[in-house]
Amino acid sequence: MFENLQRKWQINGWQFVLVILTFAIGGSLTGYVGRKSMSLLQIEDTVLYTALYILLITILWPLAVIVVSILLGQFAFFKNYLKRMGNRMTGKKVASANAAKEPIFAASKNISHTHMTKVAVFASGAGSNAQKIIDHFKAHSSVQISLIVCNKPGAGVLQIAEKENIPTLIIEKEQFFRGDNYVHALKAHGITFIILAGFLWKIPSGLVEAFRGHIINIHPALLPKYGGKGMYGQFVHAAVIEAAEKESGITIHYVDEQYDHGSTIFQATCEITPDDTPETLAQKIHALEHAHFPRVAEEVILQLKS
């Protein structure tokens, strides 16, 4: 049951523990405050007492959970959780003006299994992983690499896109982080899944929410070690070697609002020898990335379609 919940919420094991603690502490706090408040009213009528108590608990619970979630660092998760729960209870649908915040894949469960999943690959550099992913999905019966998204106009991945005749989208920082997060542009291309293949910008919360559970990333280390802001490429490999680790590897994971934080999908390891340098370790990591990333991406996409 716990594994199913963790998969459904797209969170890692440590975050799952904190989420459960937030639920437990928030519930206990709600009950305590509710009982104390009702004792001050001194209501003798059982029916009236019960009705008021239920009403009070209904109001207090989300407030208590939000307060505890802030203390435990889980505010982003519970803000989205309570919003979705409120929409379910009221039957409210998000207006078109807020379409960027809606999961654009919401109707995908009703689509035929043969429906083509259109994938956007986000990359910032030369694009070696992007090339392997493009090669893997060429002539695929139900998955198509439909867009290359890049934040660097001169990046090598754009040459790959031109060679492969794949449309490109060059993103600008202000619109990506403070505008509509390019959700509308992705919708216009029919994108329902995103693969981050060496993309160095943090994904903004609006884009995460729009594609929640449909964005995956690959990190060149064994998370939760050596992740977070600034941990990419040679910086990761140098830190791993400096710490005298015996092995390193790759982590493929779902993307959430934090750097290198979403639930782990797959890991593969490689040995670190005494004569390894950041450069030689990078070669080993690249080999793992090319061997596993396209295959695992396909498995995730097909699982979502099933």
Q: Domain ranges in the chain?
A: 2-92, 102-305
Percentage of the chain with pLDDT > 90? 55
Per DSSP, what are the bridge partners of residue 250? 268
What is the amino acid identity at position 248?
S
Task: Write down the pLDDT at residue 101.
Answer: 38
Task: Write down the pLDDT at residue 45.
Answer: 80
In the chain, how many H helices and how many E strands? 11, 7
Q: What CATH architecture applies to the domain 102-305?
A: 3-Layer(aba) Sandwich (3.40)
Task: Write out pLDDT tens, residues 179-209.
Answer: 889 999 999 999 999 999 999 899 999 999 9
Asked whether the predicted pLDDT for residue 168 surpasses 90, the reply is: yes
Catalytic residues: 219
Query: What distance in Å separates the CA atoms of residue 293 and residue 129, rounded to the nearest whole number?
Result: 8
Asked whether the predicted pLDDT for residue 259 surpasses 70, the reply is: yes
Q: What is the mean pLDDT of residues 45-69?
A: 87
Task: Write down the pLDDT at residue 111.
Answer: 35
- Most confident range (mean pLDDT) of 17-31, 92-106, 217-231, 271-285 is 271-285
Asked whether the predicted pLDDT for residue 176 surpasses 60, the reply is: yes
Query: What distance in Å separates the CA atoms of residue 176 and residue 293, rounded to the nearest whole number?
Result: 25
Task: Write down the pLDDT at residue 10.
Answer: 53
Tokens 């979403």 locate to 262
pTM: 0.65
Task: Using alpha carbons, select from 177, 208, 180, 214 the residue that is nearest to residue 194.
Answer: 214
What is the amino acid identity at position 3?
E
Task: Write down the pLDDT at residue 93.
Answer: 44
